[in-house]
């Protein structure tokens, strides 16, 4: 709460970030997000609001949020509460806190329900994690720790990773781990520290090491899915599920890798993870189009006519604002400038939803091979975009920016 007050007072001053590339007005972008959030609240809140219905996406042909029930198979239900917590953090306005609490608490049952899949980290840490960081409510802490225990039931010690999709073991031909799963490790690290559960730290480290060993090609681009023998732990194959091909670089998969290894370095301070975070970042940065918002898959042969993925750009912008803090010299400058360039592009008319839709951003791709959420607004694009803006604002205010994502 102390930090919240500090941040709110620093918002009094206009804040422009200059890089050699351009000048970007963070405050203007944050104010825009606030206006769009207010418009969404107007859509959602009435005397009969069902707080278990969460904004998920807006099709390119639509203007208001398509809502989904916060059931255990809906992986995105933590992002809308997370957006509200970030708005509360940015402004100190109690209306956001009140709404954030109501939406967050819809997810509590998941902490004690047998794990449907690995997405518990996304679900519970974006909602309860941010909520605890900003309120210190001990009930929230208990829910996060219970969620981490539930997530850890998916760990297979023969393999050394968490199982991502229990329902797809037969379909993939073994224990499957997807790159996205790296993000869920953050909740395990947190529960290890805050719940005195060192084995959760060990699971997270082993998952990151095993993934580092098998989930990447020689150029450090990643497979989406790694399949392992359940008994022997042997790596069987690398595949895609949401990308263009098994051998292609799916933009959001690589984004999860960049964000994930940056976070694992923060939590372990092991330099091998920092080195790896830089390697998986460089292959991504080297292949970006001019505006730094990737095509949904870097190897889609229809580029330049393929859709972009604003969500990947938001995830990477946020990650790079953290990663650059651990780097020095030219690399540090390159990463910071790249992040600002991404945020600047996302904040332009080309990507902003503006008055057309209630979301912050247009032009994300959810699941191209399934024909789902193509060139749409998607709630996690908004979540990571706002997180990145807040990180930039905090950096600008001489704070670390990392506490945005997880209480220490």
Residue 362 is a binding residue for ligand GLY (CB under 6 A): no
Residue 184 is a binding residue for ligand GLY (CB under 6 A): no
Q: Which residue has the tokens 């520290």?
A: 193
Out of 27, 50, 62, 180, the active site residue is: 180
Residue 252 is a binding residue for ligand GLY (CB under 6 A): yes
Report the residue number whose CB is nearest to ligand GLY: 180
Which CB atom, from 105 or from 362, has the smaller least distance to ligand GLY?
362
Which CB atom, from 90 or from 187, has the smaller least distance to ligand GLY?
187
Burial pattern 309-337, b for ≥16 Cβ within 10 A else e, equals bbbbbbbbbbbbbbbbbbbeeeeeebbbb
Tell me the three state secondary structure of residue 361: strand
Distance of CA 124 to the CA centre of its chain: 12
Q: List the interface residues with ligand GLY, window 363-402 (CB under 6 A).
A: 366
Residue 215 is a binding residue for ligand GLY (CB under 6 A): no
**Backbone φ/ψ region at 289: left (φ over 0), alpha (ψ -120 to 50), beta:** beta
Residue 318 is a binding residue for ligand GLY (CB under 6 A): no
Which CB atom, from 129 or from 366, has the smaller least distance to ligand GLY?
366
Q: Is 32 exposed, middle or buried (0-12, 13-18, 19+ CB in 10 A)?
A: middle
Which CB atom, from 99 or from 315, has the smaller least distance to ligand GLY?
315
Residue 211 is a binding residue for ligand GLY (CB under 6 A): no
- Output the six-digit token pair for 330: 């030219």
Residue 309 is a binding residue for ligand GLY (CB under 6 A): no
Out of 117, 119, 309, 362, the active site residue is: 119
Which CB atom, from 252 or from 352, has the smaller least distance to ligand GLY?
252
Question: Count of CB atoms within 10 A of residue 84's CB?
Answer: 26
Tell me the three state secondary structure of residue 56: strand
Residue 181 is a binding residue for ligand GLY (CB under 6 A): no
Instruction: Note if the bond before 375 is cis, omega within 30 degrees.
Output: no
| Least separation in angstroms between CB 122 and ligand GLY | 7
Decide: 375 and 365 in contact? Cβ < 8 Å: yes
Residue 242 is a binding residue for ligand GLY (CB under 6 A): yes
Which CB atom, from 302 or from 372, has the smaller least distance to ligand GLY?
372
Residue 177 is a binding residue for ligand GLY (CB under 6 A): no
Alpha-carbon gap, residue 300 to 305, rounded angstroms: 9
DSSP for 162-212 reads E-S-GGGHHHHTSEEEEGGGGGGHHHHHHHHHHTT-HHHHHHHHHHHHHHH
Residue 224 is a binding residue for ligand GLY (CB under 6 A): no
Contacts of 372 (CB under 8 A, 6+ apart): 366
Residue 117 is a binding residue for ligand GLY (CB under 6 A): no
| One of 180, 322, 382, 387 touching ligand GLY (CB under 6 A) | 180
| Least separation in angstroms between CB 22 and ligand GLY | 29
Q: List the interface residues with ligand GLY, window 256-295 (CB under 6 A).
A: none
- Per the annotation, the verdict on 119 as an active-site residue is yes
Question: Count of CB atoms within 10 A of residue 356's CB?
Answer: 13
Alpha-carbon gap, residue 9 to 140, rounded angstroms: 27
- List residues with catalytic annotation: 119, 180
Can you give the binding site for ligand GLY, defined by CB under 6 A? 180, 242, 252, 366
């Amino acid at each position: 709460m102390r930090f919240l007050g500090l941040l709110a007072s620093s918002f009094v001053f206009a804040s422009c970030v200059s890089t050699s590339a351009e000048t970007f007005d963070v405050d203007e972008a944050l104010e825009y997000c606030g206006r769009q959030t207010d418009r969404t609240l107007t859509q959602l809140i009435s005397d009969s609001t069902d707080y278990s219905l969460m904004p998920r996406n807006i099709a390119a042909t639509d203007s208001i949020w398509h809502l989904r029930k916060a059931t255990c198979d809906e992986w995105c239900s933590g992002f809308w509460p997370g957006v509200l917590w970030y708005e509360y953090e940015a402004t100190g306005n109690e209306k956001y806190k009140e709404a954030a609490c109501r939406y967050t608490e819809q997810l509590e049952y998941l902490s004690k329900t047998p794990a449907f899949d690995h997405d518990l980290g996304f679900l519970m840490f974006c909602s309860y994690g941010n909520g605890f960081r900003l309120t210190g409510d001990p009930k929230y802490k208990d829910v996060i720790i219970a969620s981490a225990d539930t997530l850890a039931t998916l760990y297979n010690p023969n393999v050394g990773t968490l199982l991502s999709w229990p329902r797809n073991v037969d379909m993939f031909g073994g224990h499957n781990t997807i790159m996205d799963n790296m993000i869920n490790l953050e909740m395990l690290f947190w529960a290890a520290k805050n719940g005195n559960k060192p084995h959760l730290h060990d699971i997270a480290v082993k998952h990151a090491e095993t993934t580092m060993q098998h989930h990447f090609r020689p150029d450090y681009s990643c497979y989406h899915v790694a399949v392992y023998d359940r008994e022997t732990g042997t790596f069987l194959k690398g595949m895609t599920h949401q990308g263009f091909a098994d051998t292609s670089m799916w933009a959001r998969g690589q984004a999860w890798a960049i964000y994930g290894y940056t976070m694992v370095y923060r939590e372990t301070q092991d330099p091998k993870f920092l080195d790896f975070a830089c390697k998986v970042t460089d292959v991504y940065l080297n292949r970006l189009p001019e505006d730094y918002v990737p095509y949904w898959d870097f190897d889609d042969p229809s580029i330049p006519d393929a859709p972009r993925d604003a969500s990947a750009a938001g995830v990477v912008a946020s990650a790079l604002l953290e990663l650059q803090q651990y780097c020095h010299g030219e690399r540090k400058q390159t990463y910071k400038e790249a992040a600002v360039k991404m945020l600047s592009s996302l904040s332009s008319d080309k990507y902003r939803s503006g008055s057309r839709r209630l979301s912050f951003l247009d032009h994300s791709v959810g699941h191209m091979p399934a024909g789902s959420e193509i060139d749409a607004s998607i709630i996690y694009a908004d979540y990571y975009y706002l997180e990145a803006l807040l990180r930039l604002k905090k950096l600008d205010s001489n704070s670390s920016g990392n506490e945005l994502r997880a209480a220490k």
